[in-house]
Amino acid sequence: MTSQQTAAGTQQPDIPTQAQQPAGGRQQAADGQPLVRVRDLRTHFPIRRGVFSRTVGYVKAVDGVSFDVHAGKTLGLVGESGSGKTTVGRTILRLIPATSGSVHYRGQDVFALQGERLRKLRRHMQIIFQDPMSSLNPRMTIGNIIGEPLTVHGIAKGSEREDRVASLLQRVGLDPSYRHRYPHEFSGGQRQRIGIARAIALSPDFIVCDEPVSALDVSIQSQILNLLDDLQQELGIAYLFIAHNLAVIEHFSDEVAVMYLGRIVEKASATELYANPKHPYTISLLSAVPEPDPRPTRRRIVLRGEMPSPSNPPTGCPFHPRCPLTRKAAAEADAKDTASLVELGYPPSAMPAGNGKGVTLPILSAGETIRVLRKCVEECPPLEQKKGEGGHVAACWVTE
């Protein structure tokens, strides 16, 4: 067991040191520097109300996220809708302005670039979208959709561009003669292939895959996943793979980060995370995945309530109202160290919709008293090394 790296009290753990520890036998980039380094990224959306659109609050979609993506590797980002995983991907690519934090690509500060230099950088960082229907311009031919970035970045034009487009189409498994057709003539899987061809057209070394298979049929998903896998092998592309399907993430990622309410609550190598989850949210998420076996072996944990609204997240650890672990710990702890959920403002009934604590489904049933650790309510736990493999970090006060 590696020594406990505690960065108690701080919200930004000392990740650079961890990143340099070789985790799970995966090799680092030659100079040890990650390809993409994200530090304490925050993206808050203002909530405006009234005639003068006064800002009355913020939706903290991403609230202090740090991770590294290494060249040729895949970081899986998993979470439920509203966890902010999509916003992370788009903020890194500067499609959404960040509130604070930094993103470095090969040591270059992405948020500091402007104009021509930003455009140049965009060549190296691309995105694949979830919805193959809306991600292709319905009024452009496939050839133009894939070829336009080539012209704009001065890579190829004229007949050279045509050749490039043809070979890209072939690479993603489509007939090159399709380049004169329009997106509506293709099926979902084919459109996703076109989206992939567009993303690799500029030979990027980093691609954000934003739920690339969740809109596709089951039998098509594996085709697309294998294609992405092949491209990574051949072209050495690093992926930030965003998905809600835990099985897909496990299959595809080298390292996995679990997000809850705009924060990473647990991060480890894929094998370690799935074999030995530490954070209670990860544990219940994993147990909720339906097993494709009519004689199931694992027990399922059904959490009450839903993920609270990111505009009004719970204090301290954002998971504490639903967390089974803190309840168990509170049952054994001193009464002065614990607080009752009812006292904290989670009445069993009479729950105002959508506000209050930002919870819409009941967490308590009538007459129930649940106590949680005060520490979980008052202080947000940092991401710190947990028992297990090196580099396995989780944000929880209670877990080992």
Partner 1 sequence: MSEAIIPGTAGSAVDPTRSASTPPRSWLAEALYNTFGRVGARIGAVWIGVIAFCAVFAPFLANSRPYLMKSGGRWSSPLLEQLTGVDVTLLAVFFVGLGLMFVRKLNMGQRAAILLWVVALVLPLAYWPQIGVIWRETQWPVLMRGGLLLLGAIDLAALVGIPWSMRLGLRFQLIFAVVLLPLVVLLIVRPPNPTRVPIYEQYREMEAAGQIEWVLRAPLPYSPSDRLRDQFDPNRPHPRPPSWEHPLGTERFGADILSRMIHASRIAMGIGFISTGIALVIGVIVGALMGYFVRWVDLLGMRLVEVFGSIPQLYLLLTFVAFFGRNLYLMMVIIGLTSWVGDARFVRAEFLKLRQQDFVQAARAAGLPLRSILFRHLLPNALAPLLVSVSFGVASAILAESTLSFLGLGLVDEPSWGQLLNQAVSAGGGFYWWLATFPGLAIFLTVFSYNLIGEALRDALDPKLSGE
Partner 2 sequence: MPDPLLSITDLQIGFSTSRGMIHPVRGVSMTIYPGQTVAVVGESGCGKSVTALSVLRLIPQPPGKYLGGSIRFQGRDLLQLSEREMRRVRGKDIAMIFQEPMTSLNPVYTIGDQIIEAILLHQGVSSREARQIAEQSLRDVGIADPGRRLDEYPHQMSGGMRQRVMIAMALSCQPKLLIADEPTTALDVTIQAQILELLRKLQKERNMAIMLITHDLGVVAENADIVNVMYAGRVIESATVEDLFDRPQHPYTEGLFRSMPRLGQKATRLQTIEGMVPNPAQWPPGCKFHPRCHRTRQLAANAPADQTVEIRTAEGSARVMARCVHDLPQLPTSGDPELREILPQHWAACHFTENYDNAPVTLPVIEHQREVRRETVENGVEGVVP
Residues binding partner 1 (CB under 8 A): 90, 93, 95, 118-123, 125-127, 129-131, 133-141, 145, 148-149, 152-153, 171-175, 178, 180-182, 184-187, 189-190, 193, 195, 198, 201-202, 220, 222-223, 226-227, 230, 233-234
Nearer to partner 2, 63 or 272 (CB): 272
Nearer to partner 1, 60 or 193 (CB): 193
Whole-number minimum distance, CB 174 to partner 2, in Å?
9
Whole-number minimum distance, CB 129 to partner 1, in Å?
4
Residue from 23, 92, 136, 225 in contact with partner 2 (CB under 8 A): 225
> And the tokens for 7?
């960065």
User: Is the distance from CB of 260 to CB of 307 less than 8 angstroms?
Assistant: yes
Contact partners, residue 165, CB within 8 Å, separation at least 6: 143, 146, 147, 150, 176, 179, 201
User: Is the distance from CB of 66 to CB of 103 less than 8 angstroms?
Assistant: no
Nearer to partner 2, 98 or 213 (CB): 213
Nearer to partner 1, 243 or 258 (CB): 243
289's contact among partner 1, partner 2, none, with CB below 5 to 8 A by partner kind, is partner 2
Residue from 27, 187, 315, 369 in contact with partner 2 (CB under 8 A): 187
Q: Tell me whether residue 328 is exposed, middle or buried, using C-beta atoms within 10 angstroms of its C-beta: 0 to 12, 13 to 18, 19 or more.
A: middle
Whole-number minimum distance, CB 309 to partner 2, in Å?
9
**Does 271 interact with partner 2 (rule: CB under 8 A)?**
yes
Whole-number minimum distance, CB 80 to partner 1, in Å?
21
105's contact among partner 2, partner 1, none, with CB below 5 to 8 A by partner kind, is none
Residue whose pair of structure tokens reads 């057209």 in the numeric block:
201
Q: What angle do CA 238, 283, 66 make, to 5 degrees?
A: 40
> d(Cα 71, Cα 14) in Å, to the nearest integer?
21
74-78 sheet: strands from edge to edge: 125-128, 206-210, 238-243, 74-78, 255-260, 263-269, 393-394, 384-385
- Give the CA diameter of the chain: 77
